[in-house]
Amino acid sequence: MPALPNDDFGAKDRTMIVLGLDTALKACSAAILKDGAPLARTSAPLERGHAERLAPMVAGTLAAAGLSARDIDRVGVVVGPGTFAGVRVGLAFARGLAVGTGIEAVGVTSLAALAAGIATATAPLRAAVIDARRGQVYAALYDAALVPRLEPFVAAPEEALRRLMDAAGGAAVALAGDGVAPMGPAPKGWIAEGGPDVIDAMAVARLAAGAARPEAPPAPLYLRPPDARPAAAAAFAGLLARGDAP
């Protein structure tokens, strides 16, 4: 997993222990951040079966950090865009953990999490682009502080590149994600190499740590109708069964 380059992000909230979760794309990942410092992280490539893997992975990550679920102050979870089933698994787990322990649950987009893994000195702007299949990509544009310049959207690769170029206004852009290649050659001055293709759950934890106090439970971010509607996951029950929650 790539190291987070921006260690100052979310510094104002470095008095909490945050669990970061990602099940939205092609991995199952968990990470724990305490007072701004990484404690533990676990990740495995995974196309399917997130519901079976997530609870044991979180339990193992907590054990590696010497913590239990009751020690967590906030959980950050990727809310999409991504695979419908994967997003549902992560959200069900985070919501269950929040209800079972009374902690805060914060949603983080997959595009912001990918953009957070781009080296801060690479370019003034960062674009995350994810292969959405069906001839489309998900994309968004951020400044160096991860403030959106172009909110997440779905489009054909050529249209996505045009919209990113318009929003960048001639500034250099560093790219990340497996949807970069389908867009074709990067414009002159843009950096298409070196950005992460996989979300780092520690980036999710950092973004969640720096977020405002949530007013409502995190909700999925769907930019188009899902291909299928599987039953909601009950992954949190596995963590409770291990005695890691009060």
Q: How far is Cα 125 from Cα 122, in angstroms, rounded to an integer?
A: 9
Q: Mean pLDDT, to the nearest integer, of 26-44?
A: 96
Write the CATH number of the domain with boundaries 12-110+199-241: 3.30.420.40
Question: pLDDT value at position 28?
Answer: 97
The pLDDT confidence band at residue 239, using thresholds 50, 70 and 90, is low
Burial class (CB in 10 A: 0-12, 13-18, 19+), 181: middle
Summarised one tens digit per residue, pLDDT across range 41-96 is: 999 999 899 999 999 999 999 999 999 999 999 999 999 999 999 999 999 999 99
How far is Cα of residue 22 from the mean position of the Cα atoms in its chain?
Answer: 6
- Is pLDDT of 242 > 80? no
**Topology at the third CATH level for domain 118-183:** Nucleotidyltransferase; domain 5 (3.30.420)
> Do the domains 118-183 and 12-110+199-241 match in fold?
yes
Q: Provide φ and ψ at 220, rounded to 5°.
A: -65, 145
Question: pLDDT value at position 227?
Answer: 57
Q: What is the mean pLDDT of the chain?
A: 88
Identify the weakest region by mean pLDDT among 28-42, 74-88, 176-190, 222-236.
Answer: 222-236
Q: Mean pLDDT, to the nearest integer, of 112-131?
A: 92
- Residue ranges per domain, the chain? 12-110+199-241, 118-183
Question: pLDDT value at position 190?
Answer: 96
Taking alpha carbons only, the member of 192, 156, 201 closest to residue 31 is 201
Question: pLDDT value at position 3?
Answer: 36
Question: pLDDT value at position 7?
Answer: 40
Number of Cβ atoms within 10 Å of the Cβ of 172? 14
Q: Say which amino acid occupies 91.
A: L
